[in-house]
Structure 1
Amino acid sequence: MIYIVIWTNVPETLHSGDKIPEELPRTTADVPLLNSSPRSRNTKGLLENLVPSNATKIKHLLHLTPIPILYKKDFKKMPKWDFDDVYMRSGEAPRQQVCSKSLQNSKDRELQDAVLWNIQLWFYKDLLNVSEWNRLAHFNNPFGFMELNYTGIKRLVDLIPKPKNNQLLQVPNGSTDGCIRCAVVGAGGILYGSKRGKEIDSHDYVFRVNGAVTKGFEEDVGNKTSVYVHTSFSLIQSSLILRNYGFNRAPRDEGIKYVLIPEGLRDFVWLEGLLERKRVTNDEYRGHRPHTYYSDPLREDRFYVLHPDFLRYIRNRFDLQCFPSSMVNMTKEVDVYGFITANHSKYSNYYYDRNTKTSVVFYLNHDYNLEMKTWKKLHNAGIINLYQREEELNQP
């Protein structure tokens, strides 16, 4: 499963009577691109609700001055802000959906209400200013910039080019119905011996994550990669751990697109080295040359960085902490392979565990039980098709 840093040392919500640091602002500047979402709590008239009527000067300063850095140690519990469910919107109309199996065509009202079709997917220069910083600085990584410095992050974000096309995927040539069909492939052991390789590669686009080993496993997982989703940490670790399997860098299929999840400062440091084609000189990636891990030359129009708002939206509205849930927004007809299912104990943790059976480790910061229920719910609603090895599920 894809790795995302989740704040685990701080409980879920602030209770009545818990002290909030006095210097902590309870609002952000009024940002035109922000829209209150239907499910947000107390977001209508956000500034009026949160800022005293005589605080015009404070509101003005929030436009000009970054708020004091917020630290996790100052909170007894994970704070819940009144604007926690407010997100930046792209301003683009959603693509017309023609697929029969899709969220837009689903009759599940709860899921329909949860989706924001114009959520801002991508993060790039010009999307981070003081006003936005003062909002996002209230959230822990990867959902915001708590404990980080505005000047440093702003400089790094301004290196990220704006995508030439906001749509990650285009309707393939020759499509008779205009539907985009995608496979999202994880590393779950359920795929070992599945012989699903041809089926996976038959999709218009194939998403892979983390250690996307294909060599020697083509019969089970295919070998086509259209979009590779990762963090800098997952890419580096996978290239070290899976080197003997032939995975020592990101896939380099012709036309491939890369999606980076910015889980923290190290990903922005990684981006600096990548986009400026230089060695990393600080932090834990010292000496690494990020551009050597990707297609050479790396085309700017094939590299995307997810917006922190989008990651928070996936967590808040779908109770999921891993990236493939975002396919609900990015693609239209989705088949999911190699992710946790109810019968996971029958299989090794990873499909490339040929000689040793390893078990799924249930970490405190990754609720696999909740994830299983959510995948199953999406599957039952017809929004995704989750590969579950049904022939074994039906055995007595």
Structure 2
Amino acid sequence: MQIYPLSGPPQTCPDALTRKWSSTGFNGSFLATIPVLQWAKDVNLQQYQRLKQYGGTYGWASMDYETLNATLSVLNRTANHQMFDDWQLRRKGSQCVRCAVVGNGGILNGSGKGREIDSHHYVFRTNGAVLNGFQKDVGTRTTHYTFSTNTFKNSMMSYRKQGYSGPPLSEETRYVFLPDHDRDYLLVKAVATHTPVERGRDKTKTPPTYFGEDATAEKLKMYHPDFVRYLRNRFFQSHAQKKGYKRIYRPSTGSVMLLAALHTCDQVSAYGFMTSDYKKYPNHYYDKTLSKVRFFANHDYGSELGLWQQLHKDGLIRLYMRS
């Protein structure tokens, strides 16, 4: 594995998370050198052969070298491998990067946490993040939107009636792809170069405009396969991997987002993530009925719930809870 610096700002915060891990039970899990994001300089034949052995979001098994190289070559700016590429403009004298990571859990309905969420330097959201009508509870800003092509398109179909029409669009929003297979790489290339998606199930005749017609390559980022595999191996020793689901299992999109923040931010507050009293709340904050949280074979929400509780107990995150 190559050694990389963290994809965050310089370590100047006296209360930075990187200084806290060693005094918690996660000391043996945390690696400060793991690459969070991938970009142009990651692709070469040696790396390709190494990551070709891993499938899905854990590697490049679904990718031919030409497509991989063509995609990552457009992510060749400093902004593509830094999570907080505008920190110097945003910091306003602060030494510490404060991040709000917002899930879509029903616990946020009626929370009144919107203003508090928006007060952070950076606000992370994922998938069907409906804002209109829920600003008082969930805020208005999105600086980092995490998704895969599959999850945001599924969100567009599943949550359209609830108000989700696509990824958030704002000047400050960065789009962080969690690549599952080649369709994510093909979409990144198309968006960055303002050209149609050239093949596959998402093939288009015109350039995609999901992220705004003026979206630039600087606004695009992709999680590194090494990072997602590291999360699975060190933070999610999931029972799902022991029940015949190892081939399809991966950490949920929201959990990758939260742990990416933990590896790049100095202080992290988590909202809308599963808590021990999750049965009291609907699946999503925008659900009109008390819909039950659905569990899927490809994720392990029980393991994630336990992880959030322990991270909160150890002072690594501040988890919003009602009880």
TM tier, shorter chain?
0.7 to 0.9
**Is 1:98 matched up with 2:13?**
yes
Unmatched runs of 5 consecutive residues or more in structure 1: 1-86, 391-396
The CA distance in 2 between the partners of 1:309 and 1:211, in whole Å, is 26
- Structure scoring higher RCO (CA < 8 A, sep ≥ 6) equals 2
* Deviation, structure 1 residue 92: 6.8
Aligned Cα root-mean-square deviation (Å): 2.3
Paired position in structure 2 for 1:14:
none
CA separation of 1:222/1:288 partners in 2, compared to 1, >3 Å: closer, same or farther? farther
CA separation of 1:93/1:303 partners in 2, compared to 1, >3 Å: closer, same or farther? closer
CA separation of 1:273/1:207 partners in 2, compared to 1, >3 Å: closer, same or farther? same
Paired position in structure 1 for 2:155:
238
Paired position in structure 1 for 2:92:
174
The CA distance in 2 between the partners of 1:152 and 1:107, in whole Å, is 40
Paired position in structure 1 for 2:181:
264
The CA distance in 1 between the partners of 2:34 and 2:159, in whole Å, is 35
Paired position in structure 2 for 1:156:
71
Task: Tell me if structure 2 keeps the 8 A contact 1:314–1:326.
Answer: no
SS of alignment partner, residue 272 of structure 1: helix
Task: Tell me if structure 2 keeps the 8 A contact 1:122–1:307.
Answer: yes
Q: Which TM-score applies when normalising by structure 2? A: 0.85
SS of alignment partner, residue 312 of structure 1: helix
Structure 1 segment 330-369 matched on structure 2, within 5 A: 330-354=264-288, 356-369=289-302
The CA distance in 2 between the partners of 1:192 and 1:367, in whole Å, is 24
Which structure would you say has the larger Rg? Answer: 1
**Is 1:144 matched up with 2:62?**
no
The CA distance in 2 between the partners of 1:293 and 1:160, in whole Å, is 18
CA separation of 1:194/1:290 partners in 2, compared to 1, >3 Å: closer, same or farther? farther
The CA distance in 1 between the partners of 2:194 and 2:153, in whole Å, is 17
The CA distance in 2 between the partners of 1:378 and 1:282, in whole Å, is 42
The CA distance in 2 between the partners of 1:283 and 1:310, in whole Å, is 26
CA separation of 1:91/1:349 partners in 2, compared to 1, >3 Å: closer, same or farther? closer
**Is 1:116 matched up with 2:116?**
no
Deviations 1:108-139 (A, max 9, x none): 34423322223222222232111111110111
Paired position in structure 2 for 1:82:
none
Q: Which TM-score applies when normalising by structure 1? A: 0.70
Amino acid aligned to 2:122: Y
Amino acid aligned to 2:30: V
Residue 213 (structure 2) aligned to one of 286, 296, 300: 296
The CA distance in 2 between the partners of 1:260 and 1:359, in whole Å, is 28
Deviations 1:314-362 (A, max 9, x none): 22222181311121111110000111111111111011102x2211112
Residue 315 (structure 1) aligned to one of 223, 232, 237: 232
The CA distance in 2 between the partners of 1:93 and 1:233, in whole Å, is 25
Task: Tell me if structure 2 keeps the 8 A contact 1:99–1:180.
Answer: no
The CA distance in 1 between the partners of 2:169 and 2:309, in whole Å, is 32
CA separation of 1:254/1:269 partners in 2, compared to 1, >3 Å: closer, same or farther? closer
Amino acid aligned to 2:279: S
Task: Tell me if structure 1 keeps the 8 A contact 2:6–2:34.
Answer: no
* Deviation, structure 1 residue 281: 4.2
The CA distance in 1 between the partners of 2:7 and 2:299, in whole Å, is 33
Unmatched runs of 5 consecutive residues or more in structure 2: 237-249
* Deviation, structure 1 residue 257: 1.4
* Deviation, structure 1 residue 386: 0.8
Task: Tell me if structure 2 keeps the 8 A contact 1:93–1:118.
Answer: no
In the alignment of these two chains, the number of paired residues is 302
* Deviation, structure 1 residue 93: 9.8
Deviations 1:162-204 (A, max 9, x none): 334743222633335x111110001101111111111111111
Structure 1 segment 1-396 matched on structure 2, within 5 A: 87-91=1-5, 95-100=10-15, 102-106=17-21, 108-164=23-79, 166-169=81-84, 170=87, 172-176=90-94, 178-287=95-204, 291-319=208-236, 321=251, 322-323=255-256, 324-354=258-288, 356-390=289-323
Paired position in structure 1 for 2:241:
none
Amino acid aligned to 2:28: D
SS of alignment partner, residue 160 of structure 1: coil
SS of alignment partner, residue 350 of structure 1: coil
Task: Tell me if structure 1 keeps the 8 A contact 2:269–2:320.
Answer: yes
* Deviation, structure 1 residue 145: 1.9
Where has structure 1 moved over 4 Å in runs of 4 or more? 91-94
